[in-house]
Amino acid sequence: MVSLGSTRWLAAIVALALCACGPVPGSRPTATTGFARSPTPDAASITATLAPQATLTQPAYPLPATVAATLPPGAYVPPPNTPTASITPRESHTPRPSPTATQSPTATPYLSPTPNPHILSVAEVPCEPAGDFMRCADSVLGLTFEQPADWGPITATLRSSYDETGLAYDYRYDHAPAWAMAGGRSADFAEGRGSVPTDFPGLTGRLGFSGLSPEAWCASLAASWCEVVQPTVVLGLRFPEAGYLCPDPGPYFFTSPLAHIWVVLPDHPQIHGFVFVAPFLSAEASEQVMNLRRDLLGWDSVATHTACGPENQAEFDAEIAAFMADLDSGQADPETLANVAALRHLAESITPAP
């Protein structure tokens, strides 16, 4: 049996052993046996562990005074051999001076167009109202005339041939009906392209009257109603011929009904022939002609006529002749007759300018 005194003696021996041998393996430290803390590091010890380029104080290498003066105390400045990002400064912009009271602003075009050396003149033909028409005076042609008022203003261009010889003179209308045009050519005009109705050089040449008089020219035209309105002015209402349509028609203005007013100018110094071209059939009459092409010549409404035998062509031409007879006798529809009357007025009004 252990006495109380013996117990106290044993506890003293155990405590002495623990102090000499350290903590028992696996035991948790206690307040009396805790780990010793490391001393708190100061700034000097941290600085000693840094690489030279990370120095927190001013570097040993000298800086320009103007640069150093802008740095706060303790600012980090990389040494000269430290790579840094390179930024290219934006080019400085010099503002354009504002115009002064004695300096007027000058407009600078974005792109200056190159003048066309072939264009000799561009001008508006002066016109004034005259009832349902406009009375116009063309100083280049030396003519006055009265055109339908709804054709609108005229811009006239005189130019030389683009690649060969001669002169061209053309009108541009603002409000004229589709396929309405006007223009003329000198007798020696030539250009490397297909012909158009305004390639009219007057009495001579394949595109003119081929040396024929106006009366002989009228008599030579097939599928046309033609009249010499004045000694130098011819009005023709031209219809398509079956032989020209079959099997593949040419351009629209040579295969569709169009009125021509040819003006011969043999004594003009520049332009020897001029022509006005315009549609004259009403919408109803135009559709009748198109139906003849479909029904008798097998037109597919695009390009080809598939029924071009001799009998089909003869029947088509006979129908066109009957249509022209009705037009000549005044039995065509009212709109077509009104269109023809307006074109006749234009032809009759053409006179030399005073």
Predicted confidence (pLDDT) per residue in 319-342, tens digit: 999 999 999 999 999 999 999 999
Cα separation values, 124 from 127, 153, 177, 200, Å: 9, 8, 19, 22
Interval 163-187: pLDDT, tens: 889 999 999 998 888 889 999 999 9
Q: Who contacts 97 (Cβ-Cβ below 8 Å, separation ≥6)?
A: none
In Å, what is the CA distance from 76 to each residue of 82, 85, 255, 279?
Answer: 12, 16, 90, 89
Q: Which long-range contacts (C-beta less than 8 Å, at least 24 apart) are formed by 42-51?
A: none
What is the Cα 242 distance to its own chain's centre? 39
Its pTM stands at 0.67
198-222 residue pLDDT tens: 999 999 988 899 999 999 999 998 8
The DSSP bridge partners found for residue 157 are 122, 170
Number of CB atoms found within 10 A of residue 123's CB:
13
Mean pLDDT, range 74-87, rounded to an integer: 46
What was the pLDDT predicted at 55?
A: 37
Least trusted range by pLDDT, from 41-45, 174-178, 312-316: 41-45
Q: Could you give the CA distance from residue 125 to residue 282 in angstroms, rounded to a whole number?
A: 29
pLDDT above 90 (res 82): no
CA distance 253 to 141: 24
Range with lowest mean pLDDT among 17-31, 177-191, 253-267, 318-332: 17-31
Q: Mention every residue, 6+ apart, whose C-beta is less than 8 A from residue 27.
A: none
Closest CA to 46 of 54, 35, 36, 37: 54
Q: Strands 181-185 and 258-264, how do they pair?
A: unpaired
Residue 65: the pLDDT is 53
29 upstream amide cis, omega within 30 of 0: no
75 in Cβ contact with 68 (< 8 Å)? no
pLDDT at 253: 67
- pLDDT for res 81: 47
Residue 241 to residue 222: CA distance in whole angstroms = 8
